[in-house]
Structure 1
Amino acid sequence: MKVLKFGGTSVGSSKNINNVISILEKYAKKDSVVCVVSAVGGITDKLLLAGKQAQNKDTNYIDTFALIKDIHFNIINELNPNKSNAIIDYVDEQLSDLKNLLDGIYLINELSPKTSDKLVSFGELLSSFIIAETMKSRGLSTERKNSQELMITNSNFTKAEVNYSVTNKNIQDYFKTASQEITILPGFVSKSLTGEQTTLGRGGSDFTAAIVAAALKVKQLEIWTDVSGMFTTNPKLVKQAYPIDKISYQEAMELSHFGAKVLYPPTVQPVLDLQIPIHIKNTLEPEAVGTIISNDKTNSTSPVKGISNISNIALLTLQGSGMIGIPGFSKRLFETLSQEKINIIMITQASSEHSICLGIDEKEADIAKTAIDTAFENEIALHKIDPIIVETNLSIIALVGDNMKNHQGISGKMFSALGKNNINIRAIAQGASEKNISAVIAENDVKKALNTLHEQFFEAKTKQLNVFITGVGNVGEKLVEQIKQQRKYLKENLKINLRITGLSNSRKMIFDEEGIDLKNWKDLLANGETATLDGFFENTKALNLRNSIFVDVTANKDVAGLYANYLRESIGVVACNKIACSSDFENYKLLKRLSLKYNAPYLFETNVGAGLPIIDTLNNLIASGDKVKSIHAVLSGSLNFVFNNFNDTTKFYDIVKQAGAEGYTEPDPRIDLSGVDVARKILILARESGMEMNLEDIKNTPFLSESGLKSDTVDDFYETLIADEAHYQSLFASAKANKSQLKYVAALNNGKASVSLQEIPEGHPFYNLKGSDNIVMFYTERYPEQPMIIKGAGAGADVTASGLFADIIRIGNN
């Protein structure tokens, strides 16, 4: 004999009910079948709503009743086009009784537990009858047996306790003589020894099925729902979640207790005693493997079997110095909550005995606070303890696994992963059995926490990075295309799943939690919402994705001003914008501190030398104990391009225009030609070397003409280049006469920094620097005579984008 249970969603529509019938018909060809069914999906909630409305003198209960009636008759009409009078008559009679009951509740303005049980019983009684009669009409050997005649309980209404001796005998006696191939039983419903209608409480249909399975000692209980088994975590929140093939009874109960909706813990008890396996199956995908719950040993390689959570938690904290060393506080606290029938979900107590934390259902928080403050009124008045502290909008997340106790470092990995993503833990609980590690976190961090932990414990060490890019002009577009090209390589070789989840230019911005489609990102961006800097930050913050990285591909001061906001949210920052790192020293140090405090990487390799590993090399020298003595460098690819192409046969104006057209200078070339850009770069290197310095401390010797320095607009500046051609030719002529090359040089010596145009003689390492190349020479304690030299392309969209990309990958590898 087979025992199957189908939940509310499985019988929530005529289509799903037809799936159920097909499954039962297939099973019945091999063995007799007992099928326990829930109420039609959503009906129990509607029955309770109607009862509450009637109790509150709200005439909307009539509309709710009408909706309940319509749902059932629509299903009947779709299942039975040639419906028999038997179905119509029974359903009409039941609905008439339901309406009379609701009218009675409305008249007396009362909904007692006893009446509530009678009210909600209609759901299962109706669904089971409709399904059984439909199967009969299709020629299947089917009978419906009212479970109220089998399930006998006490009179503890809304959660009655089963009288197993009577119930088991009833079940065994009935099925000894039952000749039908398929028996339909309504779940959840029961009757007391005195004949009053009762219910088995939350998860009652599962409970009914388990009781029947245990009474008949079947080989396996099957519970059919709308998912393919118990998942590693909530698949609605974690797309990478997958079904667990096999799981132990204890693991299943732990996961169910902490929010896994597939199974309700008391369900397990009747079959647990008899070691009857439970098979979770999917009505919508009957061929799916599902999950088998048993005590058989599994071959799982992961010590963690699943991750679950309970939402809408309130954390109660009883604390005070008067608790230390005084027995009885815990007893009084728990007794107070017990008297109020408040269930405690989680308990944790400091070893100092200074505080006790309890997790309860948020709906009961106000009642709990009032009761506890009253119970400890005297101690509070004497300041021995504080009034109970209540925190809401919380959730409990839990790692579950029988084998966790045999593996070191599970809790360390859990808390480290959460900490790296700025998920604050309010309380922790771990039993001595080590089968469960629970933590209380903010409700709005649940999705990020589940994804973070699932990635840590269940995915093939693939780290997901969520990138938000502001500024998709020349460099930004190259970066997007590089990411698009390399995504597959990163995933397969570096185990980095890189997704662009936010994009913005000066006009529009778009976001996609699942990753923007990079095949048509330009069209998507063109049709995005209006862009604002604060709006981009707020959207990034609201998505609250793990391993989030903000990438600034602008030269905008206002964008740089938001870095601190991102870092405080544990969102990493990657920037080619030099303004933040060359701003006031206190702001530079603040960003560094925030990066460490919130475990949010702040990388800006492209601030100096585009894609060249200049800052990274310097940081490695410092970290290894070396000390910088001096730095000499050509750090402007744009200025190097200009002076490598300018001579006595060209015009300075034409070369500067060409540099701008090829993307080597900023739209305002004065930023490059004034030396400010190079000054910022040497300032950043000085700071990264450990020196406290500001931009005004750097000596900047300009080479521009006086009129060029005083120009008000870009157009005016270009006019001065034409007018002052003789000035620039004189610079070239002097260098030529001295057999030298013009190079714009940055220098750091003895704690002082300068930038200036210099004539570099033949034989100097800077002399043959071509195109837009940069070069940096580090003289350190380990490299006192022969410097460490880094040389290569220091400007251009492709190399700058690759430098940003390298910083993103560096974060992914950490």
Structure 2
Amino acid sequence: MKVLKFGGTSLGSPDNIKKVKAIVTEKSQNSQVVIVASAFGGVTNHLLEISRLAEKGEDNYRSKLDELINRHLQAVQDLLGAKAQSGIMAKVRLVLNEVEDILKGVFLIQEVSNKTLDKVLGAGEVLSALIVNEFFQQAGLKSRLINPQDFIITDSEFGKANVDMALTEEKINSYFQKLDGDVLVCPGFVSRDSYGNSTTLGRGGSDYTAALIAAALDAPALEIWTDVSGMMTASPKYVKQAFAIPEINYEDAMELTHFGAKVLYPPSVHPVYKKGIPIYIKNTFEPNAQGTRIHEYAEPDSHSIKGISCIENIALFNLSGSSMVGIPYFSHRLFEALAQAKVSVILITQASSEHSICVAIDLEDMHKAKAAIENAFALEFREKMLDPLYVEIDLAIVALVSSQMKNQIGLSGKMFSVLGQNGINIKAIAQGSSEKNISAVIDKKQIKKALNTLHESFFLSDLKRVNLFIVGTGNVGETLIDQLHQQSEYLKEHNQIDLRISGIANSRKMLFDLNGIPFENAVEILMEKGKEMNLDGFLDEMKALNLRNSIFIDNTAHEVVADTYSDILSNSISVVTPNKIACTGKYEEYKNLKNLALKFRSHFRFETNVGAGLPVINTLDDLIKSGDEILGIQAVLSGSLNFIFNNYTGEGDSFADVVKQAQEEGFTEPDPRIDLSGVDVKRKILILLRESGFEMELNDIETIPFIPETCMQAENVENFFEAIEQEESHFRQLLEEANAEGKKLKYVATFQDGKANTGLEKIATDSPLYNLEGKDNIVLFNTKRYPEQPLVIKGAGAGAEVTASGIFGDIIRIANAL
């Protein structure tokens, strides 16, 4: 005999019931089949809601009851022909009328007991089985309806009755020996006590019904048909990459079901577990999918963890106080109080000092748990022997499950490390000595990020997804996106990094897409589908998505964007930027950003602040971290100024012409005065000094101007070019003086003996700065390890390509560190 249980989703509509019939027809070809039916999808919750409304005396319970009645009557009409409807309609209406009468009484007295609820809630399975059985008969199956109250006997614990196992097994064997028919349709969930009162088997009761029948009849297997293709490595509701576990042993299955894997419930495993009967989890909508086989000796696979599960809506109670230390029976009193209040404890953790104990319970039980604890320890609270009871809500438990983890080293460390790297704070942890699971209590809002992070680490470790949020799509931004596009497949194949644009914005539009915005036409899609840009809205959406491995990329030069970095880093989102404003403001603000990145396990990288694509800051950081000390810095840090002085020879174009050329080729800002003032170089040397460990402000750096003040004060850019044209003799004199000494003009930033300055200098032929060509930059570090011959970093220091490549490099460094 085969035993098949079909869940509420499988029976959720007439079309679904037809799919069930096809499965049952095939299964009943060579064997008698028992079909255990759940209520139609959502009906049990609907009945509970109606009951509570009636209990409160709210008249709208009637309209909701009418909805439920109409749903079942409509199902009969959709499934059966007109001639076949009359008989079954009478049976269905009889059940519904009884429910209606009970609820009318509840409404009148405004009270509902668990005993009454059992009669109401059990009606969903009874109705479902009635309709399914009639449909099977009309479809030509030799089907017969059976009543589980004839053979499943329980105590009188209404709401979640306890089965009398010996008597139930005896009655099942006796009952089924007398039955004929190819298909036996049985309502799940419902039962009766020894006095004949209706009872229910609690959460997952239909699974339990099927397991009891399968175990008593020694069935070759128990098949649970649901809407997913087996027990999943994680909840597909949160983790899109979750996949079905081909096979799993009973212990791991029970751990997963205890921690929220809703395709199966813990009690349903026990009856078949004792008999060694395998359970198959199958998909009604993909009947040919492999599904999951649960049995005693599952073959080991490549994954150290079998699954990652979660329980939502958790409350955490923390009882603490010095009077707890060394006091016998303290824990006993706590758990006795909770047991008497019928509160189930999901997780327990206690400090070895015995100063505190934490318990996690279902949020629904919070108020009665709080009352029970405060009553049990009223004296201790009143005399302040205990601290006030601390309760946290809106929490969840995530758990790694595997019966083999006892022999695996480093699983706990890996779990806590990946959660910490994504800013997921752990409130409490628990791991039993059997080491079948590691559980952590976290904020409920972090469930999605936590599950995806853990699933990626333990099941998809060969490919790490990194979510990018890009603000700014100008020259640098577009070039960066092009580079990401060109290298994305290479990074997947060779570095196991999956980069994805999850959000993008410019000054006009913003757009988010959890499936990723294609690199090849990201800007076009942004302008076509994006909504109006609002920076606060962009940041709120990014934080609300709460995606793992998130990086915010600021390609702008706006102070208002830089001001958001502290908030972003505090949400454990990394920041990459060429924007120098954040790092050159007040020292306290710069240091705060660095500290926030450390505190919230995020990353703050700004390599392009100094040398575009040159590895200046990374090299400097390596020196400092390895214990070296900066003694002096000499650097040409402006590609635009270097271009200007390399092209101003005095033999052709005027100084104004060369500056104009630099502007047209994009080497300077639209207003060249920004570059010629030296303020950009001043900011860059300040960043290097701060990264070297010096607490300096921008005004601590002396700037020696070389542009006449009358030029800098010009009303606009056009007037500025006219002014420097009139000052050609000044610039020609500077050039000729340098030529006369056999030197070249370079705009240099210098740090020596604790002082820093920037200005135009005449560079001799023996200096590494002398032969600096084009728009290249160069940095010379004199350190304790390089006291005489400096460490030299040299290369292209301006342009969209090299700046974008520097940003790209920072992204990869963060990705490798995640």
TM-score, normalised on structure 1? 0.97
Shift of 1:77: 2.2
Q: Does 1:694 align with 2:692?
A: no
CA distance in 1, matches of 2:127, 2:765: 98
1:30 maps to: 30
Shift of 1:504: 1.8
Secondary structure, in 3 states, of the residue corresponding to 1:402? coil
2:152 maps to: 151
2:63 maps to: 63
1:258 maps to: 259
2:324 maps to: 323
Shift of 1:743: 1.7
Q: Does 1:39 align with 2:42?
A: no
Task: Kindly indicate whether the alpha-carbon contact (under 8 Å) linking 2:473 and 2:523 is maintained by their aligned counterparts in 1.
Answer: no
Shift of 1:692: 2.4
Identify the match of residue 771 of structure 1 among 769, 774, 779.
774
1:290 maps to: 291
Q: Does 1:757 align with 2:747?
A: no
Q: Does 1:411 align with 2:377?
A: no
Shift of 1:639: 0.9
* 1:45-79 CA distance string (max 9 Å, x none): 11112222222222212111211122112222222
Shift of 1:388: 1.4
CA distance in 2, matches of 1:409, 1:166: 47
1:94 maps to: 95
Secondary structure, in 3 states, of the residue corresponding to 1:631? strand
CA distance in 2, matches of 1:682, 1:570: 29
Shift of 1:284: 0.8
2:467 maps to: 466
Greater Cα offset, 498-507 or 448-457:
498-507
State the AA in 2 paired with 1:580: A
Task: Kindly indicate whether the alpha-carbon contact (under 8 Å) linking 1:303 and 1:402 is maintained by their aligned counterparts in 2.
Answer: no
Greater Cα offset, 31-40 or 775-784:
775-784
2:394 maps to: 393
* 1:140-191 CA distance string (max 9 Å, x none): 1211112222222222222222223332233223332333111111111112
CA distance in 1, matches of 2:635, 2:337: 73
Secondary structure, in 3 states, of the residue corresponding to 1:194? coil
Q: Does 1:536 align with 2:569?
A: no
Shift of 1:716: 4.1
TM-score, normalised on structure 2? 0.96
Identify the match of residue 645 of structure 1 among 641, 644, 647.
647
Task: Kindly indicate whether the alpha-carbon contact (under 8 Å) linking 2:315 and 2:393 is maintained by their aligned counterparts in 1.
Answer: yes
CA distance in 2, matches of 1:725, 1:88: 102
CA distance in 1, matches of 2:616, 2:364: 57
Secondary structure, in 3 states, of the residue corresponding to 2:553? strand
Change (3 A) 1:80 1:740: same
CA distance in 1, matches of 2:96, 2:722: 90
Task: Kindly indicate whether the alpha-carbon contact (under 8 Å) linking 1:230 and 1:280 is maintained by their aligned counterparts in 2.
Answer: yes
Secondary structure, in 3 states, of the residue corresponding to 2:486? helix
2:678 maps to: 675
Percent identical pairs in the alignment equals 53
CA distance in 2, matches of 1:680, 1:522: 31
State the AA in 1 paired with 2:573: I
CA distance in 2, matches of 1:595, 1:89: 69
Shift of 1:320: 0.8
Could you list the runs of 4 or more consecutive aligned residues of structure 1 that deviate by over 4 angstroms after TM superposition? Answer: none
Identify the match of residue 732 of structure 1 among 730, 735, 738.
735
CA distance in 2, matches of 1:116, 1:181: 33
2:104 maps to: 103
* 1:343-385 CA distance string (max 9 Å, x none): 1111111111111111111122122222221221111121111
State the AA in 2 paired with 1:329: F
Task: Kindly indicate whether the alpha-carbon contact (under 8 Å) linking 2:482 and 2:520 is maintained by their aligned counterparts in 1.
Answer: no
Task: Kindly indicate whether the alpha-carbon contact (under 8 Å) linking 1:77 and 1:83 is maintained by their aligned counterparts in 2.
Answer: no
Q: Does 1:801 align with 2:804?
A: yes
CA distance in 2, matches of 1:487, 1:316: 47
Shift of 1:412: 1.0
Shift of 1:715: 4.4
Identify the match of residue 668 of structure 2 among 665, 668, 673.
665
Greater Cα offset, 262-271 or 659-668:
659-668
Q: Does 1:595 align with 2:602?
A: no
Task: Kindly indicate whether the alpha-carbon contact (under 8 Å) linking 1:76 and 1:83 is maintained by their aligned counterparts in 2.
Answer: no
CA distance in 1, matches of 2:743, 2:377: 88
Shift of 1:739: 4.0
CA distance in 2, matches of 1:72, 1:523: 50
Identify the match of residue 564 of structure 1 among 558, 566, 572.
566
CA distance in 2, matches of 1:95, 1:8: 18
- Match runs of 1:339-738 below 5 Å: 339-526=340-527, 527-648=529-650, 649-738=652-741
Secondary structure, in 3 states, of the residue corresponding to 1:247? strand
CA distance in 1, matches of 2:235, 2:526: 31
List alignment gaps of at least 5 residues for structure 1.
none
Task: Kindly indicate whether the alpha-carbon contact (under 8 Å) linking 2:594 and 2:604 is maintained by their aligned counterparts in 1.
Answer: yes
* 1:257-294 CA distance string (max 9 Å, x none): 11111111011111111111111111111111111111
1:214 maps to: 215
Aligned pair count?
Answer: 814
Change (3 A) 1:510 1:83: farther
Shift of 1:712: 4.9
CA distance in 2, matches of 1:320, 1:780: 54
State the AA in 1 paired with 2:503: G
CA distance in 2, matches of 1:154, 1:366: 27
CA distance in 1, matches of 2:432, 2:702: 64
Shift of 1:713: 4.1
CA distance in 1, matches of 2:498, 2:161: 50
Shift of 1:442: 0.8
- Match runs of 1:123-202 below 5 Å: 123-202=124-203
CA distance in 2, matches of 1:308, 1:515: 26
Task: Kindly indicate whether the alpha-carbon contact (under 8 Å) linking 2:497 and 2:815 is maintained by their aligned counterparts in 1.
Answer: yes
* 1:467-518 CA distance string (max 9 Å, x none): 2122221101111121122111111111111112221212222222332233
Task: Kindly indicate whether the alpha-carbon contact (under 8 Å) linking 1:320 and 1:386 is maintained by their aligned counterparts in 2.
Answer: yes
Shift of 1:408: 1.4
Secondary structure, in 3 states, of the residue corresponding to 1:580? helix
Shift of 1:746: 1.6
1:117 maps to: 118
Shift of 1:696: 1.4
List alignment gaps of at least 5 residues for structure 2.
none
Task: Kindly indicate whether the alpha-carbon contact (under 8 Å) linking 1:373 and 1:387 is maintained by their aligned counterparts in 2.
Answer: no
Secondary structure, in 3 states, of the residue corresponding to 2:225? strand
CA distance in 2, matches of 1:659, 1:238: 51
1:19 maps to: 19
Shift of 1:98: 2.3
CA distance in 2, matches of 1:772, 1:188: 78
What do you get for the CA RMSD once the two structures are aligned? Answer: 1.8
Shift of 1:20: 0.6
Greater Cα offset, 528-537 or 477-486:
528-537
Secondary structure, in 3 states, of the residue corresponding to 1:573? strand
State the AA in 2 paired with 1:225: T
CA distance in 2, matches of 1:145, 1:394: 43
* 1:393-414 CA distance string (max 9 Å, x none): 1111111110111011111111
Shift of 1:301: 2.1
Secondary structure, in 3 states, of the residue corresponding to 2:511? strand
